[in-house]
C-alpha cells in the first residue's frame, strides 16, 4: 500500500488498531502465533490498498475490528483471527482463494472461501433465492462452525457502523439481522452478541420507540441501582463469610427485551418490573462439586430472601442445548419486588459469554457428542433432504433456530432434548420415522395420551403404535419439530406420486395474483401470512416491479381448500396490497368475479 493513500493520523489509527488486536490476543490462553497474524494483517492491508468504507475510514479498519471481535468477544485463536483479517480479500480484490492457500495454508483458505460464499445478504425479493442463501449459510456452518462465528463478528461490526448506510439499506440489514443472525448467536450461546444485535436491529427498525424506551431506562437508572445495592449488600456479606471469591453485579434488561415484554404482555414500560437481575459469578473451591456449591449459594440467598416457588431454573443438572449452565432463582426483594438471581461459576460464565462454539472440537475425537454436535447434525439432515418448497424450507430452518427446550425420558431412562411445545408425535419421529408414521399415542408417566399431547420436562414416554395407522394431513398442524414436519412432508410427497393415493392427501394447485404498492417488506409480509399462519406450500413465485408498484404471481399447493377465502381476505388487510385474485383452482381458470376472493368457497369443489 502506498503510504500517501491515508493521512498520517489515519496511518496511526490503523497501527493502533493492529496493536490493540495483538494485545487482545496476548491476553488469551491460546498458543501465541503472532507471526502468522502479522503476515495476514500486512497481506490484507496491501490487498485493500487505499480503499475506504462508506463512512470514509480506511477499509482495513473493518477486518481489524472483526478480528478483534473474534478474539476478544468470541474467544477464538490464530486461525480464525487470520481468516477474519482476510475475509473480504477474495471477494473485493484481485487475489484468489489459491493465493490465500499458498500464503496461509488450506485451513485458513477454506474458512475464507466459506465466508466469501455467504458474503451477500440473505433477504432478497424472491423466496426461492432467500432459501438458497440460507442453504449456503447452513452448508458453510455445518462444514466448519468458525465460518459462522466470523460471520457473526462481521455482522456485529457492520451493525455497529450501520449509520453510514442509506435509511432503506439500514432497515433491510436490521430486519435480516433480527431474523437470522441474532437467533443464530443465541443458538450458539453467544448471549452478549445476540443481545447487542437485537438492540441495534431494533434501534434501526423502530428508532423512535427505541429512543423512548432508552430514555425511560436512563431516567430510572439511579433509583434502580440504589435499590439493587440495598438488595445486594446482605448477599455480599453472606458470600464473603462463606469464603468465596466472587463478583455480584446488576444485569439490566436490554431495550429490545423490554419492548418484547411490553408487546407480549400488552403492558406499558411502567409495568415492566424486572428491569434488573442480579448475577453471581464465583470461583468454586475444591471441596465440593460446582453443582453442590451453586446450591449452597442458593441456600444462603433464600435464607435472606423468600424464593418464588415456581421460578427456580436448574440449568446445571440439564444444560440448555446451546451449552448454557446456571442456577436461576427469583426472590422477593426488600420493597416487595421479584428479582431474579443468576448463580454461575467462572467456567459457566465463560461458556455463557463466549458460547459453546468457542470450545468447539475441531475433529479432536474421543469426546461424546454434545448438544451443538446434535444440532449441526439436524441441520445436515435437513440439507440432505431439502424441501422443494422454498417457504417450507425457511420454516424448517426457523424451527431449528428459534426453539427452546424441554427434557424428557425414554422408558429406559435415556434423556432426550425436545423443542418446547413438542408433542407425542414429535417424540415418535425423533426416535424413528416408522414409529412416527404408525403412532397412535403414548403412555406418558403411565397415563395414556393422544398424539397431540404437549410434552413437559420430566415426562417419561412410551410410544404406542398400530400397523393400520397412517399419517393424515392434519398431523402437520400437530407436529412442532423440524424433523417431524420434514418426515411428514416426505411421506405426503411420496403418496402424491403413487396412483393409489388417498383423496385426503392430494393437494390441489391454486394460482394467486396479487398487486399493490411496492414498499419495503411487503413481500415478506405476504409470504409470512401464507407460510406461518396458514402453513401453505408455495411451489412457484414470480415478482415484478416498476419501482412504484409490484405484481406477484404465486402457485400454491393446498390440501384444505376451505382456508383459501379466509387467507385471501387476510392478505387484503396488508398495507400496500390492493388486489388479491384467485386465477386458477386445480388448473381450472376462474373468471374475475369468481376469483375476487369473496365467493371462492362456491367454486372449490367444482
CATH code for the domain of 337? 3.30.460.10
Asked whether residue 62 falls in the same domain as residue 159, the answer is yes
Instruction: Give the CATH number of the domain where residue 560 resides.
Output: 3.30.70.260
- Residue 393 falls within a domain, yes or no? no
479 and 516: one domain? no
Based on the fold, state whether residues 99 and 162 are members of the same structural domain: yes
**Does one domain contain both 211 and 199?**
no
133 shares a domain with 12: yes
pLDDT at 361: 37
330 CB-near residues (< 8 Å, 6+ apart): 307, 308, 311, 312, 338, 339, 340, 341
The span from the CA of 293 to the CA of 471, in Å, is 49
Residue 441 lies in a domain: yes
**Residue 97 and residue 185 in one domain:** yes
What CATH number does residue 59 fall under? Answer: 1.10.3210.10
Beta partners for 462? 443
Q: Which segments of the chain have a pLDDT < 70?
A: 1-4, 119-142, 321, 355-405, 413, 415, 497-507, 532, 537, 539, 560, 586-606
- The catalytic residues are 91-92
424 shares its domain with 469: yes
**What pLDDT is stored for residue 570 in this prediction?**
84
**Domain CATH number, residue 472:** 3.10.20.30
- Global confidence as pTM: 0.63
| pLDDT of the residue at 260 | 87
Residue identified by cell 372449490 is: 604
Rounded to an integer, what distance in angstroms lies between the CA atom of residue 508 and that of residue 555? 10
In a domain, 364, yes or no: no
Q: Which single residue is written with the C-alpha cell 439511579?
A: 222
Q: Is-contact 543 582, C-beta < 8 A?
A: no
- Do residues 344 and 295 lie in contact, with contact meaning Cβ atoms separated by under 8 Å? no
Give the model's pLDDT for residue 604.
42
Is residue 57 domain-shared with residue 119, that is, in the same domain? yes
Cell of 221: 437508572
Q: Within this chain, do residues 23 and 45 fall inside the same structural domain, yes or no?
A: yes
Domain that holds residue 537: 507-603
577 plus 481 within the same structural domain: no
Tell me whether residue 369 is in a domain: no
Cell numbers representing residue 327 in the block: 442456577
Torsion sign across C-alpha atoms 69, 75, 76, 78: positive
Q: 368 in a domain, yes or no?
A: no
389, part of any domain: no
Backbone angles phi, psi at 343, to 5 degrees: -115, 120
Number of domains in the chain: 4
Neighbours of 82 (CB within 10 A): 30
Neighbours of 127 (CB within 10 A): 24
DSSP 3-state helix, strand, coil percentages of the chain (rounded to 5)?
55, 20, 30
**Tens digits of residue pLDDT in 91-126:** 899 999 999 999 999 999 999 988 887 766 555 444
Give CA angle at 584 (581, 587), nearest 5°.
Answer: 170
- Give CA 347 to chain center in angstroms: 24
Q: Spell out the residues 6+ positions from residue 377 whose beta carbon is closer than 8 angstroms to its own.
A: 369
Residue 386 falls inside a structural domain: no
Alpha-carbon span 16 to 351, nearest angstrom: 30
pLDDT value for 214 = 93
Q: Final residue of a domain: which of 204, 225, 240? A: 204
Domain boundary among 317, 334, 354: 354
CA distance 555 to 514: 11
Tell me whether residue 367 is in a domain. Answer: no
Same domain, 286 and 434: no
Say how far apart CA 271 and CA 265 lie, in whole Å. 10
Sign of CA dihedral 420, 425, 429, 431: positive
Q: CA 80, 85, 86, 89: dihedral to nearest 10 degrees? A: 150
* 49, 21: one domain: yes
Work out the widest C-alpha separation in the chain, in whole angstroms: 83
Q: Where is the domain boundary, 174, 204, 234?
A: 204
Amino acid at each position: 500500500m502506498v503510504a500517501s493513500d491515508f493521512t498520517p493520523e489515519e496511518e496511526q489509527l490503523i497501527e493502533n488498531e493492529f496493536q490493540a488486536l495483538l494485545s487482545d490476543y496476548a491476553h488469551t490462553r491460546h498458543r501465541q502465533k503472532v507471526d502468522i497474524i502479522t503476515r495476514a494483517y500486512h497481506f490484507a492491508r496491501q490487498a485493500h490498498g487505499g480503499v475506504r468504507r462508506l463512512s470514509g475510514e480506511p477499509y482495513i479498519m473493518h477486518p481489524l475490528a472483526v478480528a478483534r471481535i473474534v478474539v476478544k468477544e468470541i474467544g477464538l485463536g490464530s486461525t480464525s483471527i487470520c481468516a477474519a483479517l482476510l475475509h473480504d480479500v477474495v471477494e473485493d480484490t484481485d487475489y484468489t482463494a489459491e493465493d490465500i492457500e499458498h500464503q496461509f495454508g488450506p485451513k485458513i483458505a477454506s474458512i475464507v472461501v466459506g465466508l466469501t460464499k455467504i458474503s451477500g445478504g440473505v433477504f432478497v425479493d424472491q423466496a426461492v433465492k432467500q432459501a438458497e442463501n440460507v442453504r449456503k449459510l447452513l452448508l458453510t456452518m455445518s462444514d466448519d462452525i468458525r465460518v459462522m462465528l466470523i460471520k457473526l463478528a462481521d455482522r456485529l461490526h457492520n451493525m455497529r457502523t450501520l449509520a453510514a448506510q442509506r435509511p432503506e439499506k439500514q432497515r433491510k440489514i436490521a430486519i435480516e439481522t433480527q431474523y437470522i443472525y441474532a437467533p443464530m448467536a443465541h443458538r450458539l450461546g453467544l448471549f452478549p452478541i445476540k443481545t447487542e444485535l437485537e438492540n441495534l436491529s431494533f434501534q434501526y427498525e423502530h428508532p423512535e420507540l427505541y429512543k423512548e424506551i432508552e430514555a425511560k431506562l436512563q431516567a430510572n437508572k439511579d433509583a434502580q441501582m440504589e435499590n439493587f445495592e440495598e438488595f445486594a449488600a446482605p448477599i455480599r456479606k453472606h458470600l464473603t463469610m462463606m469464603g468465596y471469591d466472587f463478583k455480584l453485579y446488576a444485569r439490566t434488561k436490554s431495550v429490545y427485551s423490554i419492548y418484547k415484554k411490553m408487546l407480549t404482555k400488552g403492558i406499558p414500560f411502567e409495568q415492566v418490573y424486572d428491569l434488573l437481575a442480579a448475577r453471581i459469578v464465583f470461583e468454586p473451591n475444591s471441596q465440593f462439586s460446582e453443582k453442590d456449591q451453586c446450591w449452597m449459594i442458593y441456600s444462603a440467598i433464600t435464607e435472606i430472601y423468600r424464593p418464588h416457588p415456581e421460578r427456580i431454573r436448574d440449568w446445571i443438572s440439564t444444560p440448555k442445548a446451546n451449552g448454557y449452565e446456571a442456577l436461576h432463582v427469583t426472590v422477593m426483594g426488600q420493597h416487595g419486588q421479584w428479582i431474579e438471581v443468576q448463580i454461575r461459576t467462572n467456567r459457566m460464565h465463560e461458556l455463557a459469554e463466549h458460547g459453546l462454539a468457542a470450545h468447539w472440537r475441531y475433529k479432536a475425537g474421543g469426546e461424546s457428542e454434545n448438544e451443538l454436535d446434535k444440532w449441526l447434525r439436524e441441520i445436515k439432515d435437513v440439507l440432505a433432504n431439502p424441501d422443494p418448497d422454498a417457504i417450507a424450507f425457511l420454516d424448517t430452518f426457523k424451527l431449528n433456530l428459534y426453539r427452546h427446550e424441554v427434557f424428557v425420558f425414554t422408558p429406559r431412562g435415556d434423556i432426550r432434548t425436545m423443542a418446547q411445545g413438542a408433542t407425542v408425535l414429535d417424540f415418535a419421529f425423533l426416535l424413528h420415522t416408522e414409529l412416527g408414521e404408525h403412532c397412535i399415542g403414548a403412555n406418558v408417566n403411565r397415563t395414556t395420551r393422544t398424539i397431540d399431547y404437549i410434552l413437559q420436562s420430566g415426562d417419561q414416554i412410551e410410544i404406542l403404535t398400530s400397523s393400520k395407522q397412517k399419517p393424515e394431513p392434519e398431523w402437520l398442524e400437530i407436529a412442532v419439530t423440524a424433523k417431524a414436519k420434514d418426515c411428514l412432508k416426505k411421506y405426503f410427497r411420496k403418496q402424491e406420486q403413487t396412483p393409489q393415493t388417498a383423496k385426503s392427501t392430494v393437494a390441489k394447485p391454486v394460482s394467486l395474483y396479487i398487486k399493490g404498492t411496492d414498499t419495503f417488506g411487503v413481500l415478506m409480509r405476504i409470504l409470512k401470512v401464507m407460510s406461518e399462519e396458514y402453513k401453505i406450500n408455495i411451489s412457484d413465485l414470480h415478482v415484478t416491479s416498476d419501482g412504484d408498484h409490484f405484481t406477484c404471481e404465486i402457485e400454491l399447493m393446498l390440501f384444505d381448500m376451505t382456508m383459501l377465502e379466509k387467507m385471501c381476505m387476510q392478505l387484503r388487510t396488508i398495507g400496500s396490497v390492493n388486489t388479491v385474485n384467485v386465477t386458477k383452482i386445480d388448473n381450472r381458470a376462474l373468471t374475475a368475479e369468481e376469483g375476487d376472493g369473496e365467493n371462492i368457497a362456491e367454486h372449490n369443489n367444482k
